[in-house]
Amino acid sequence: MKELLLNIDDKSKKFIMAVGDASILAYKGFIGIFKPPFNFNLIIKEADNIGVKSLIVVCIIALFAGMVLALQTIYGLRYYGAELYVGSVVSLSMVREMAPVLASIMVGGRMGSGIAAEIGSMQVTEQIDAIRALGANPIKKLVSPKIFAAIFVVPLLTVAADIVGVFGGMIIAMLELNVGYQYYLNTVWWTIGISDFCSGIGKTAFFGFIIALIGCYFGLNTTGGTTGVGRSTTITVVTIALLIIISDFFLTKLFFLVF
């Protein structure tokens, strides 16, 4: 029993220290965005890695998510004779929750692990120490561009996911209910408001910050050679997914209060 309590106490201290270190890294990385010199080439490169190379995967997931959601909605609403409202349900679900969360988790799985592997490899091969020895700030050079790019690119990916997901729902509605695309799009237009769109997009800016921060944090704390790099990438993906789901609840509640 005593050993169990000591183990819990030790893990609690490590968790609190990890939260503190991540908070300090978040502060330094965010402040580094606004401090010169500004390396726009690094920002463009990170935006390309995070956004352009993730676009196809995000759109495919959004397309089939919208199709599945429409299919389930049609069969669910058919009991009440309200299946023609499928456009309203699909569009509201996609814009508010499904597109932001699915796009962010996919980008987090793809880019979070990539960031952790990249920085982790630099850490175990002492390249980060070399950057410090040359008088450069590794946080400014490695962390800040990734945070800046993720904050702006993930919302853009979410907009694409919104459009493609609603389009996927329209395909199923036309095939299953024989409704015209104009009627479907009209129901979407009547349902979605500015507050719905802004709440969904606004959350993804926070999600992008989480993705870049967690990837950089575990990358910078990598130890143990190539085995440690693999361990860091795994825990990065799991942590990002958990934090996105948990923060989604609190951000949703916050946006409900704001709007």
In the chain, domain spans: 39-258
259 pLDDT above the threshold of 90 = no
What is the total residue count of the chain?
259
Q: Which tens digits make up the pLDDT trace of 4-58?
A: 555 666 777 777 888 888 888 888 888 888 887 777 888 888 888 888 888 899 9
Q: Is the pLDDT of residue 125 over 70?
A: yes
Give 206-245 pLDDT, tens digit per residue: 999 999 999 999 988 888 777 888 888 889 999 999 999 9
Distance CA 158, CA 61 (A): 11
Residue 185, pLDDT score: 86
- In tens, the pLDDT along 73-90 reads 888 877 777 777 888 888
Q: What is the pTM of this model?
A: 0.89
